[in-house]
Amino acid sequence: MERLITELAVGNFSARGDLSGSGDQIDAIVAGLNMLAEDLASGEASRRRAEQLNELNVRLDAGRARMEAVLHQLPAVVWTVGRHDEITELYGSGVARFTAHPEPNVLQELLGNGPEGEALVRGHRAAAKGETQRLDVERGEHVWSVSVEPLPGGGCVGVAVDVTETRAEAARREHAQKLESLGVLAGGIAHDFNNLLVGILGNASVLVGAPELKVETRRTLQQIETAAKRASELTRQLLAYSGKGRFLIRSHDLSAVVSEMLDLLRMSVAKTARLSTHFDGDLLPVEADVTQLRQVVMNLITNASDAVEGMSDGRIEIRTGTVGLSDHELVADETLDELPGGDYVYVAIRDNGRGMTPAQQRRMFEPFFSTKAPGRGLGMAAVLGIVRGHSGALLVDSAPDAGTEVRVLLPVADAPLHDPDASFPNQIGSASDRVLVVDDEELVRDVARRVLESAGYTVHTAVDGVEAMEVWSRRPDRYRLVILDMTMPRMGGAETYEAMAAEQPDVLVLLTSGYNEQDATNRFAGSGPAAFLPKPWTADELLGQVAELLRPEDD
């Protein structure tokens, strides 16, 4: 018994006394002490269980706090709804954008009134019955994808994700794919049409120079020639829209190009509008087709003039300059070509007209789209194609009643400025100057042969690269020049050139194509062809280019 008392005194509540028959009185005391020990042990266990439960509650509270903190940072909205449409939990960083109510307590306050709110409430009721619901809703400028799932035991949980940027990016990609598809179609049509125009333009230009023609006949041929040149401009616009419209690539001063157009631009703007200019006189050169650049500027000026028409204080400003842009800043580029950051030369045209809504701005590069009257042409679609074809960028800044600014950015060129006064020599060929014309279009071959023979050259023709190599391989040194089409069946221009260069490395080739110069010449390894002649060409252009290539070195 003494031992039991001692153990109990030190807190050993598991100790028990021995009832060994020491006497009824003593046995009763020991039994009482044993009962006391059991009571004390039970209390200690309860205390320990209470401490464990308290520790678990603390950990659960901490975990819940962490979970709520994470949920509040989610780029979404998460809520739970009880049996009576009460909001039991509400989390997410997008709550303020999703609901106009500062502290919604019931479902209607969270989802709002109107058709979309009522549709969401019905979706929650259906979810509470076990049916999963998914739908999209618009809240201001944001689009939300909402999913509602039933909860075990009743009620439901809703999740709303802001998909505005995701949907916008998908729309941009779809728009880019649509433009690319239309561009491929436009480019193919323009290429085939250019081959036909070679026959029309080439034959007309040959006949116009005939001395025996009557005046009326000459005038008719000149009209045919003029119509064919206008048609060639149309194919240039089609190729510009397709992004394949660069023909005569030279290094140019963008300020000089635009300033040379000022008289024409002033005549193009609305009479009530004031045109101001700010040109950077120290620009680095850009590599571009100057005709295409002028078309871009003219289209933008025409749009700006339309925007300020009828305004008493209409203003249009043209600026040129150089700007350094990061990859992030170029994300807004309308060409969607993921251009690298760096220095760009730009021309910007700003007006203070009516501006555009976001919906109008998304459609501004669609063919024939206009914010005023029905569309009159390719317009901004051609601008987009030209800029894309020059590896440039388009940045648009516009808002309703705040005017519009369009900036065309072009990469800086390494080449020196082009001398516009340079011209082809006027040289007549001789019969000893043999030329091989390779083109799959009979009309093109025939016109080229007639033009060259009329100037004194000896001409042979081939329908494609296979036939050209058969003719060429017999006497590679026989031909001073090969006029080679780029796109042909069986064996195209690039393969034909490589085969000829393998036999005669210094072979002189004039490449011709209905596509642009860079796309054509990029397919060639090494130095490539000596020159490029875009289709459709006139007799004078063909003869001038041939004379330039065959001119003696000492001239």
| pLDDT class of 3 with cuts at 50, 70, 90 | low
Predicted local confidence at residue 423, as pLDDT? 44
Cα–Cα distance, 132 to 528 (Å, whole number):
64
Q: What is the mean pLDDT of residues 180-191?
A: 73
Closest CA to 298 of 237, 389, 232, 228: 237
Q: Which residues contact 280 (CB under 8 A, 6 or more apart)?
A: 255, 320, 321, 322
Predicted local confidence at residue 415, as pLDDT? 64
Pair 274, 403 in one domain: yes
Residue 366 located in a structural domain = yes
Which helix or strand (DSSP H or E) is residue 524 part of? none
Per the CB < 8 A criterion, the answer to whether 139 and 119 are in contact is no
Q: Which residues contact 422 (CB under 8 A, 6 or more apart)?
A: none
Residue 157 located in a structural domain = yes
Residue 69 located in a structural domain = no
Closest CA to 258 of 306, 287, 301: 301
Closest CA to 140 of 397, 358, 331, 333: 358
The residue among 241, 264, 286 that closes a domain is 241
Pair 395, 468 in one domain: no
Q: Return left, alpha or beta for 73; rule: phi > 0 is left, psi -120 to 50 is alpha, else beta.
A: alpha
Secondary structure string (H, E, C) spanning 281-313 = CCCCCEEEEHHHHHHHHHHHHHHHHHHHCCCCC
Which residues lie across from 343 on neighbouring strands? 324
CATH number at residue 475: 3.40.50.2300
Print the domain residue range for 520. Answer: 434-550
- Determine the number of helices (DSSP H) and then strands (DSSP E) in the chain: 17, 17
Q: Could you tell me the two tokens for 23?
A: 């006497």
Which residues lie across from 251 on neighbouring strands? 287
Q: Could you tell me the two tokens for 516?
A: 């642009």
Pinpoint the alpha helices (H) of 10-150.
24-73, 95-98, 107-111, 114-128
Predicted local confidence at residue 388, as pLDDT? 84
The residue among 130, 162, 194 that closes a domain is 162
Question: Average pLDDT of the chain?
Answer: 79
Pair 305, 191 in one domain: no
DSSP string, 119-183: HHHHHHHHHHTT--EEEEEEETTEEEEEEEEE-TTS-EEEEEEE-HHHHHHHHHHHHHHHHHHHH
Cα–Cα distance, 395 to 66 (Å, whole number):
44
Q: Cα 383–388–392 angle (5° rounding)?
A: 100
Pair 270, 373 in one domain: yes
Residue 418 located in a structural domain = no
pLDDT beyond 50 at 22: yes
Identify the DSSP state of 268: H
Cα–Cα distance, 320 to 128 (Å, whole number):
62
Q: What is the mean pLDDT of residues 451-474?
A: 89
Pair 473, 539 in one domain: yes
* Interval 206-250: pLDDT, tens: 787 777 778 888 888 888 877 877 777 667 666 666 655 545 677
CATH number at residue 341: 3.30.565.10
Predicted local confidence at residue 350, as pLDDT? 94
Cα–Cα distance, 394 to 332 (Å, whole number):
8
Cα–Cα distance, 68 to 9 (Å, whole number):
48
Predicted local confidence at residue 368, as pLDDT? 65
Pair 279, 400 in one domain: yes
To the nearest 10 degrees (0 to 180), the angle between helices 442-454 and 164-208 is: 40
Residue 422 located in a structural domain = no
Q: What is the mean pLDDT of residues 262-284?
A: 86
Q: Could you tell me the two tokens for 322?
A: 């150089």
Residue 419 located in a structural domain = no
More confident residue, 98 or 509: 509
Cα–Cα distance, 519 to 191 (Å, whole number):
13
User: pTM of this prediction?
Assistant: 0.49
Cα–Cα distance, 258 to 52 (Å, whole number):
82
Q: What is the mean pLDDT of residues 482-504?
A: 88
Pair 402, 254 in one domain: yes
Least confident of 107-111, 201-205, 373-377, 395-399: 373-377
The beta-strand segments (E) located in 447-501 are 458-462, 481-485
Pair 236, 260 in one domain: no
**% of the chain at pLDDT higher than 70:** 77
Residue 427 located in a structural domain = no
Cα–Cα distance, 149 to 127 (Å, whole number):
6
DSSP string, 384-436: HHHHHHTT-EEEEEE-TTS-EEEEEEEEBP-SPPP-TT---------TT-EEE
Pair 157, 173 in one domain: no
Predicted local confidence at residue 347, as pLDDT? 93
Residue 237 located in a structural domain = yes
The residue among 206, 241, 276 that closes a domain is 241
Pair 286, 381 in one domain: yes
Pair 103, 229 in one domain: no
More confident residue, 287 or 336: 287
More confident residue, 551 or 1: 551
Pair 274, 218 in one domain: no
Per the CB < 8 A criterion, the answer to whether 159 and 146 are in contact is yes
What is the number of structural domains in the chain?
A: 5
